[in-house]
Chains A and B, each alone.
Chain A
Amino acid sequence: MTDIKATMDALPGIDHRAPLLQINDLHVEFRTRDGVAKAVNGASFWLSPGETLAILGESGCGKSVTAQAIMGILESPPGHLTAGEIRYRGVDLLKLPEAQRRKVRANRIAMIFQDALSALNPVYTVGFQLAELFRMHRGMSRSDAKNRAVDLLDQVKIPAARSRVNDYPHQFSGGMRQRVMIAMALALDPEVLIADEPTTALDVTVQAQIMGLLAELQQQRNMGLVLITHDMGVVADVADRISVMYAGRVVEEAPVHDIYARPGHPYTRALLESIPRLDLKGHQLNVIRGLPPALTDIPRGCAFNPRCRYAKDPCRQDPAPPAYAIAPHRTARCHFFREVLGE
């Protein structure tokens, strides 16, 4: 196993001082019969070991597409990565030959999907699907790989792992299935884990258990975690930093406490105001007015301007607002961030 990692370190240009993961100006579009949908329009963010970065945003803002682009599993056609860089420890993954890119998946960067029932292959046992990773990436024998699969199920706290390893996905409960997904993602000790709404399909008590497990495993392994979610409550508990996405762009990036205390972008502010809060029970909930833009026709200037209560003339003109450094470690793409912060 160590020598595998060693050959992996032979990735051209690998630099252990470079950021663990860095996304620069990523652009993804879907070319369909109905036109070109610009799902990601210059997303940028970075991630350090042991850190949890939450990516927030309304449905359809390009969170999952960004994650799939990082993994290199965009469905293409119709998906096309048209510009940008994805750097893992300084290595531009987009420039790697496909065979090497494939080795990065699961070995270096792994992913958990939202709906574990459909994300697991229904006709193979979970043991087969776990063992497959060791057989294909580590060249282990079937029986060794199976034993590793049992260890993994133990690690994600599935009771009676030795017998359950021969069960099929549909025989597990929702929470147990998501644990299997996690085991599968962590099998090859990746340094980056991308979790795309890992708990949305589960009920509340199970959600908390799964988030707890994820946090625990992350700490043990000092993994970088990209957590994609709608749930502001979860974010406050586990995230270190937050990237807020709107129409395929990161509109604000900041440490979690700063953002909750003083949002720097009108969209972030609106998102925070839309959380139901116990202490404000009885007050009217602020729902963001209007709808997210059609990705085939994104507004000129600041994409948020039709819905923004701070919008003024410059907002409706190109170029779009740049990422202003509004405080140490904080950026926001809003011309009027001072006004927003100061309110």
Chain B
Amino acid sequence: MFRYIVRRLLQMILTFFGATFVVFALMFANQDDPIQALVGEKTASDSLRAALTERYHLDEGFLTQYWYYMKGLLTGDLGKSLTGRDISEMLADAWPVTIRLAILAILIAAAIAVTTGVYAGIRRGGLFDNGTLLMTLLLLAMPIVVLAPLAQLVFAMELRWFPATTTKNATLYELLLPALVLATTVIATQLRVTRTSVVENLRADYVRTARAKGLAPRRVTWVHVLRNSLIPVVTLIGVDLGVLMSGAIVTEEVFNIPGVGFNLARGIRTEDGPLVVGFVSVLVIIFLIVNLAVDLLYAALDPRIRYE
């Protein structure tokens, strides 16, 4: 276990520097005029030029720039957006609603994917199984840019079951429709992996043993099979978080939820380079930390890894 954690940590540190470097390079590489990259198609006034040059140390070498960028990231100093607001403050403002949205979406996705996946796996080849397989196919084919506007149109504007837009202090009910939309971006893969994994595990010898022990079918499935089947599903959580972050940009934009994604979408539209780089960098760090946590969770679920 200890060696596993140490190895994971070392890998994570490497990935951390690599990934932040990638973001930084994507932003500034191949630019004749980095300031123009930061402000987009707007014209930068001389004072703005001076401010940005100082902020990003644009008069120094590329690696030095990266060094200052990392220092800022690690000390929580993200600088100011082109509108003059402090980026860390904007982020702090935007977090709470995004977190609630994301947790709601994850709970919905996990609940639906795991229960449906288990039942589909048990009734492999049956009507229910084929039905869910078809559903996952349709969900996989629905990009978030299709799903979010259409869901809003149908369920909020036409049927009026949910509000079409929300505010910063949105209630859970107000967040339900966007959370459902966000959840659908990850349900299909989670469900498929759960199902496949259940199908494989149902054939395992230990299931036969569990039945020979006179255990009720419910216990065999939900205690013995499920715990084994969840191992590959848990590894998906890390990837899924990336999908959720991407989905949140569009979802929050469509439903006007003033969270992280919404601010990021605005930053992209107004070509606010400092804002975009700042937000993206923080999201990447969160993504990496969650992925490390998932690795540890994986070890907790699978003792064969824990004692490696």
Contacts and interface: CB of A to CB of B under 8 A. Distances in A.
Touch between A and B in complex, CB under 8 Å?
Answer: yes
Interface of A: 68, 71, 73, 75, 102-107, 110-111, 113, 115, 118-124, 132-133, 136-137, 168, 170-171, 184
Contact of A120 (B209, B215, B216, B301): B209
Nearest to B227: A123
Contact of B303 (A73, A118, A123, A133): A123
B205 A133 contact: no
B205 A132 contact: no
A119 B209 contact: yes
Contact of A119 (B206, B228, B304, B307): B206
| Chain B contact patch, size range | 20 to 34
Most buried by A among B204, B206, B212, B219: B212
B235 to A, nearest CB: 15
A121 B302 CA distance: 11
Contact of B213 (A68, A106, A124): A106
B224 interface: yes
A120 B304 CA distance: 13
A73 B204 contact: no
A118 B200 CA distance: 13
Contact of B205 (A102, A104, A115, A124): A115
Contact of A118 (B206, B216, B301, B304): B206
Nearest to B207: A121
Nearest to A184: B213
B214 A107 contact: yes
14 contacts: A71-B211, A75-B208, A105-B212, A105-B214, A119-B205, A121-B206, A121-B209, A121-B228, A122-B206, A122-B302, A132-B213, A133-B214, A136-B213, A170-B307
A110 B228 CA distance: 24
A137 B214 CA distance: 8
B213 A122 contact: no
* A-B complex: 4 closest residue pairs judged by Cβ atoms: A105-B214, A118-B205, A106-B214, A121-B206
Contact of A123 (B205, B212, B216, B302): B302
Contact of A71 (B212, B228, B303): B212
A280 B206 CA distance: 42
Given A121-B224, A123-B303, A124-B227, A136 B219 contact: yes
Given A68-B208, A103-B214, A122-B206, 20 more contacts: A71-B212, A73-B212, A106-B213, A107-B214, A110-B212, A111-B212, A113-B205, A115-B205, A119-B208, A119-B209, A121-B224, A122-B302, A123-B231, A124-B224, A124-B227, A132-B213, A132-B215, A133-B213, A136-B219, A168-B307
Contacts of A113: 205, 208-209, 212
A314 to B, nearest CB: 41
B209 A122 contact: no
B210 interface: yes
Nearest to B230: A123
B303 A106 contact: no
A102 B208 contact: no
A119 B205 CA distance: 5
Given A118-B206, A136-B219, A123 B301 contact: yes
A119 B208 CA distance: 7
Nearest to B304: A170
A8 to B, nearest CB: 12
A187 B128 CA distance: 38
Contacts of A103: 214
B1 to A, nearest CB: 12
Most buried by B among A104, A106, A123, A168: A123
Nearest to A187: B213
A137 B215 CA distance: 8
Nearest to B214: A105
B307 A118 contact: no
B219 A118 contact: no
A105 to B, nearest CB: 4
A60 B216 CA distance: 29
Most buried by B among A118, A121, A133: A121
Nearest to A133: B213
Nearest to B213: A106
Contacts of B216: 102, 136
A235 B249 CA distance: 71
A102 B214 CA distance: 5
Contacts of B206: 118-122
A122 B228 contact: yes
Contacts of B205: 113, 115, 118-119
Contacts of B228: 121-123
Contacts of A105: 211-214
Interface string B56-82: 000000000000000000000000000
A132 B228 CA distance: 17
A102 B213 CA distance: 8
Contact of A73 (B208, B224, B227, B231): B208
B212 A106 contact: yes
A336 B228 CA distance: 54
B219 to A, nearest CB: 7
A122 B228 CA distance: 8
A133 B214 CA distance: 8
Contacts of B204: 118
Most buried by A among B219, B231, B304: B304
